[in-house]
Structure 1
Amino acid sequence: MATILSALKLVQAKRQAKTDSVQFRRGKVLVKLDEQIELAKALRSGQTLNIKRVRKERDEMTGVLRTIESVKRIKQFWFKSESGKTCVELLYGQTAIEFKKGVTAIELADDGQVVEVLQTLRKAVEVGELDTHITAASEVVKARFRK
């Protein structure tokens, strides 16, 4: 038996720790921003965006687990304000991230800027400029679950 194990390289190693919570949240926001950019590009070109979601569902009669593929609903991060201007919000869950105290939206000059603003937000999230804001929004989301 010792001869079999001697053919392998044995080392003392530690597993890598879980990813940092800030990195994890940043990754979640980046995925959502990528979806929003794709949605904005699709709507600009007159198409619809169908992102598939796979989920498991148990059949009540047989008890067998089935895999079901469905279209994921995506809520737009942009909207028309009361003044008629297009505004973009960055959402963490359903909570709008505050860029400054009480400021949650970016006003655009025209509708064509949506993709560019979303890409700018993506760059800001990627380099970590909004980490404190994302953390604050995640604390609000956590507070709702603690009730």
Structure 2
Amino acid sequence: MAQNPQQLKPWYRTWWTVPVFGAVVLVVIVALAQAFGPKPEPVVRPTATSTASDSATALTETASGLTYSEATTACNDAAQAEVDPDTWNGSPKLDPLESRIVGDAWYVKFGGTVTSAAGAEVESIVECTVGGAPDAAVVKKVKIER
């Protein structure tokens, strides 16, 4: 008997077409997902902000020469005058929460304690904006949260 010569399979019916086709489809799906998917929000890092760990090390003074120490002292004095000199116990240098230079003024935020006439203590947060010159610090805004 005569042997049938082996017939060649079409290229699309060979064993390797399924994995190659699958890889191509996967690459297309990933490319489309990256092109039309959600874009991540850019991270904005403030450059002139310091925290409790480095409260006075990021920037040392405003353009007019007002230092962090002078600003916190003026802020503490303003908070003490607003609450009651006998009941306020602020600690800007011991418990700074945030400080930064905004324009030509310091923004300072720190903790403190207000003691009532009955002796009860209330923890408070003080926020101040302090400008001016080193010898004449001006508290532009003071806010006390109890």
Instruction: Decide: shared fold, TM above 0.5.
Output: no
| Structure with the larger strand share | 2
TM-score (norm 2): 0.22
Which one has the largest radius of gyration? 2
TM-score (norm 1): 0.22
Higher relative contact order (CA 8 A, sep 6+): 1
